[in-house]
Chain A
């Protein structure tokens, strides 16, 4: 198993697109905090920003494109054609020749993805929160360790969400489009909460309540329940993805 995970890690980190996700996801949030600093300082001074305990944690959301790209690319790279002279060949054929046991392969892939994304999330969260403290330290309380851990968990689960959807669709474009639109300023899920309260239980909305306090969602979910609901979503989608991966022709 250790060898499998090492192999999957090397495959993932050998993809140029994965590095785009890694660099982009790690740098965007801290850079946004830095660029928004003058605006935030004015808002605090003017008193329009009353609850500052979410500052920094809230800015993390913009970097989620990193875990999304990583989660998608780890699967979709297996399904892209390997070369123009062998159009039918895909990397997955070679992967399965090396590891015929499909669920073991999937487990190794999942572990490799979780390791990379958790490391990325830890670095980004640390950088973003340290920067927030350095810039607005006197106004912003240091967030509790549990909230920081929840933010890292949210990043990891988001990557797994992208990964599970890609396992089902076997194509990177659908999950990327869905997830990137949904990470825009006013997300589609947030709009859906205006239609039905049930939309508050969509994974991205409920997951954010693990570490963000101030929110205008119609249903307030306590952090632990929020984490469980989001994990249940991911587990269900992963189960579907795993069954399909096990049963479908490669």
Chain B
């Protein structure tokens, strides 16, 4: 429990995470407004409650990868962390818990921002859960990659280029992609959960085996 508290404090004191969360929320406000005006002018661009989140999930990907790569940036904080907490698997679990605890309120606020104006408050829990899982997935990938820019390219490329292309090319692949649930929760929820937990397991195993 102490480890979780320590990890949470480390995350809370990172200015980059605060900035990312704030920018993500502001972008959601802007996009929700854009969708509302598009709809007011008689144009249907998609599900106004969830579509803005389809874009701003990028903010949550960045949140997760910054949280994970902050340990490996200048100064190699990970060495100090491991000195204080040498048992790596419990440490990795504590990191995931702390990140989830930090993300859930941000995700709930962001989800509420886009679903409330559309009058679909019932979708907040599912959307917040999706965004939190996405953050954990990004953190897991970044734990394996360890460097922020390559992790950004990989994650955003998968979520915003490869994913949409695959879904357009073969709709049958949609239920197996981690990001389908962003727009179509009934279809992709299982995939999001499965991808996140496999990524977390993979990250924990590599973290345990690799030199820090």
A-B interaction: yes
Q: Which residues of A contact B (CB under 8 A)?
A: 17, 20-21, 24, 28, 32, 35-36, 62, 65, 69, 72-73, 76, 80-81, 84, 87-88, 172-173, 176-177, 180-181, 183-186, 188, 191-192, 194-195
Q: Which of B35, B46, B74, B156 contacts A176 (CB 8 A)?
A: B156
Within 8 A of A (CB), among B103-140: none
Contact A195 B160 (CB under 8 A): no
- B66 within 8 Å of A by Cβ? yes
Contact A32 B165 (CB under 8 A): yes
Which residue of chain B has the shortest Cβ distance to A194 in the bound complex? B38
Nearest-neighbour CB distance to chain B for A27, whole angstroms, equals: 12
Contact B150 A183 (CB under 8 A): no
**CB-defined contacts of B58 to chain A, threshold 8 Å:** 177, 180-181
28 A-B pairs with C-beta separation under 8 A:
A17-B149, A17-B153, A35-B169, A36-B169, A62-B161, A62-B165, A69-B153, A84-B76, A87-B74, A87-B76, A172-B148, A172-B152, A173-B149, A173-B152, A176-B149, A176-B153, A177-B152, A180-B156, A181-B58, A181-B156, A183-B160, A184-B160, A185-B168, A186-B46, A191-B38, A192-B34, A194-B34, A194-B43
Contact B161 A180 (CB under 8 A): yes
- B15 within 8 Å of A by Cβ? no
**CB-defined contacts of B38 to chain A, threshold 8 Å:** 191, 194-195
> What 10 A-B pairs come out closest when comparing CB atoms?
A194-B38, A172-B149, A87-B74, A81-B74, A180-B156, A87-B75, A191-B34, A184-B160, A84-B76, A176-B152
Within 8 A of A (CB), among B164-185: 164-165, 168-169
Contact B74 A88 (CB under 8 A): yes
Nearest-neighbour CB distance to chain A for B37, whole angstroms, equals: 5
A81-B74, A181-B58 are known; give 9 further A-B pairs, CB within 8 A.
A17-B150, A62-B165, A80-B147, A173-B152, A180-B153, A180-B161, A181-B156, A191-B34, A195-B34
Taken together as a complex, chains A and B put the C-alpha atoms of A62 and B168 apart, in Å, by 13
**CB-defined contacts of B149 to chain A, threshold 8 Å:** 17, 72-73, 76, 80, 172-173, 176
Contact A177 B33 (CB under 8 A): no
**CB-defined contacts of A191 to chain B, threshold 8 Å:** 31, 34-35, 38, 45
Nearest-neighbour CB distance to chain B for A66, whole angstroms, equals: 11
Nearest-neighbour CB distance to chain A for B21, whole angstroms, equals: 14
Which residue of chain A has the shortest Cβ distance to B148 in the bound complex? A173
**CB-defined contacts of A65 to chain B, threshold 8 Å:** 153, 157, 161
* Most chain B CB within a 10 A radius of its CB, from A62, A72, A173, A192: A173
Main secondary structure of the interface of B (DSSP, over half): helix
Taken together as a complex, chains A and B put the C-alpha atoms of A172 and B55 apart, in Å, by 19
With A17-B150, A80-B149, A81-B73 known as contacts, the answer to whether A173 contacts B34 (CB < 8 A) is no
Which residue of chain A has the shortest Cβ distance to B76 in the bound complex? A84
Contact A195 B161 (CB under 8 A): no
Taken together as a complex, chains A and B put the C-alpha atoms of A72 and B153 apart, in Å, by 11
Taken together as a complex, chains A and B put the C-alpha atoms of A185 and B55 apart, in Å, by 11
**CB-defined contacts of A20 to chain B, threshold 8 Å:** 150, 153
Nearest-neighbour CB distance to chain B for A12, whole angstroms, equals: 14
With A172-B148, A173-B148, A186-B45 known as contacts, the answer to whether A180 contacts B37 (CB < 8 A) is no
* Most chain B CB within a 10 A radius of its CB, from A32, A87, A184: A184
Nearest-neighbour CB distance to chain A for B31, whole angstroms, equals: 7
**CB-defined contacts of B164 to chain A, threshold 8 Å:** 184-185
Q: Which of A24, A81, A173, A184 contacts B62 (CB 8 A)?
A: A173
Taken together as a complex, chains A and B put the C-alpha atoms of A191 and B34 apart, in Å, by 6
Which residue of chain B has the shortest Cβ distance to A184 in the bound complex? B160
With A36-B169, A176-B152 known as contacts, the answer to whether A195 contacts B55 (CB < 8 A) is no
Nearest-neighbour CB distance to chain B for A72, whole angstroms, equals: 7
Taken together as a complex, chains A and B put the C-alpha atoms of A6 and B35 apart, in Å, by 47
**CB-defined contacts of B62 to chain A, threshold 8 Å:** 173, 177
Nearest-neighbour CB distance to chain B for A118, whole angstroms, equals: 21
Which residue of chain B has the shortest Cβ distance to A76 in the bound complex? B149
Nearest-neighbour CB distance to chain B for A23, whole angstroms, equals: 12
Contact A177 B156 (CB under 8 A): yes
